[in-house]
Structure 1
Amino acid sequence: MTLILAAATRTAAVVIADRRTTAGTTVWSEETGKLGLALFDDARVAVAYAGLAEFGSFRTRFWLPDALGDIAKSYNDLDSVLEQVRLRAESDIKRLRGLQPEHSRLTLLFVGYQYSVQGVPTPVFARVSNYERDVTDSPTDRGQSPLAIREPTPEFTLSIDRSATGFTVGAGAAGGLSWPHIDGLREHMRAGASGRVLRAKMVHIVRQAAADKASSNLVGEQCSSLIVPSDPQLSAEMEHHTAVATSTAHLPARYDLRSPERGGGGLMIWDASVTYGSATDPPAFVPPVSGKKKCPCGSGNQYRRCHGVKRRGGSSIVLGGPD
């Protein structure tokens, strides 16, 4: 499973996904990429998945770019691609012989901006899923988890929300996420928080969920994030948020689904990683700690005089998104 959080305002969409994969409640990996940036002729969105990670030779992280690449040979606008993704997911999951229904849960999220012919951006949130539905603020829904999970079905549904005022959504593991988390995020949005402020808040929420016993070990502290500005001339920010000292930053994938006429080259990067230094060098990235505490890199120096100075938190790397 995984936990995905997404928020979009008029100026930026922010998506966070933890990187843990599990078999039941047993952790398989803490560094599985589940987040990417997709470029369409009429849209730029973050793409993330929750649920089924692998079964036999099937790997969702490889299946998704393969499916998107095939679809982009005929369709390059967001709405058409979404419908084709729904059909492809439904068809391919049904072909997995021996996959038990309770293990077939899969949600694909598309969050970002769709552009009119005049270039006016509209926040868009789309969900392709066989086990989740959209949540409302009704008393019935607020009495349950913010993530509305039902029993998986063979059919995948597609829901699309275009809201001029933005939204907050989630997907994946319901345990550990509460309505106060969502309400707090909305307060930040109403206060006009920047994409980076929202990102910091969302990483904190994911890690709170990971530490909560209610998450049943399905959510990890290692996260990837994307900030997608509504202005298509501004680069997206990709970031890896590590909870342990490491020299490798794992970055989101990139899917170029634009037509050749719009500059698309069909580039598909499944998962990117950047490693700094050699095996004997101190870790390049560390989780932030109190300034007077010893730096997690093992140097013996205070954090504020080590990675706290060098990398302003040192837990991630930021790259400009592909445009």
Structure 2
Amino acid sequence: MESTCEELDLPPHVYYDQLEEALLLNALRNIARGCEVSVPPSLSLAAVNDILDMAKHILPTPEYQQLMAYSVELGEQVAGRISAAFPHPLTEGAASDAEAEKVHYLRMGTGSLWNAVRHVISLLPFELVQRRHQREGQRQFVCGAYGHHSLVGLYRNTAPYQSAILLINTLLCSICPTHIWSTVVITLDNVAELHVDRQNAPQRALVLGISHFEGGRLWLQNLGAMFQSQSGAGPMQTAATGNFYDLSARAYLIPTHCRLHATEPGFLGNRFVVIAYLVGQHASLSQVHTHALSDMGFCLPAYRNTRPDAGTAADDTLDIEVVD
């Protein structure tokens, strides 16, 4: 079970929101190609109203009216919006725009959890990092627990963004209530070469494409011959064959801890991917840290012997393997 890949059904409150966005954005991209205008890649994370607002600025009037007519028809055909319950905020004051927005959403009580999380993610501080399995630096936001050899603790972005993390974890839990995770990584336009996340615990990671992008699929080792991108450029010989998985607005449980995986190069739109996984050293986390993580919506295993001390402070130079 822990070595198989499983696609998850999105709950209705997520599925219908993302479906309307995906269809409208696809229509905009097609119309824009005909007009020879560019669609900003950031629209991959935009809600319906934001897509229409941008279309008004980039499309000629007749084409914009065509898109508006399609949007009205789409709104009539797609099932009505389904609100989800939001948890209570963990912080009152907010030191950042992202945290302030999350507190605002949490105080609303209910609403579109999908849109709230996507809006908040757009405000998070993405940092440039370099990993062994990446040729170039990649942007990511990471929070929750880290583990590196005997060192364990919380990433430094965890405490300042508690309500933001709680909102993200609430969405993840609604998609897979039985999943166990200690850490969340959100990648932006990440392209990883073949690797295995050996430092993760021996269980599958929850991988969610949170934006609407084309291409940039995940390749996952199967049993067979070689990896080659869809474009046919640069085949990489490996000891296995595999399958491609479309991540755009889709969720999977993926055994990244034991199977080779990589990102298909080349995609249209910003590629935001959320990964929730359990660090291999999770049993060494202190009680202070496990309680804090639980309050922020992380779903941790039951521990027999949890350390009472406060643990080790996060180190920016830690080299933690993550799935992309």
Same fold (TM over 0.5): no
More strand by share: 1
Higher helix share: 2
Structure 2 length-normalised TM: 0.30
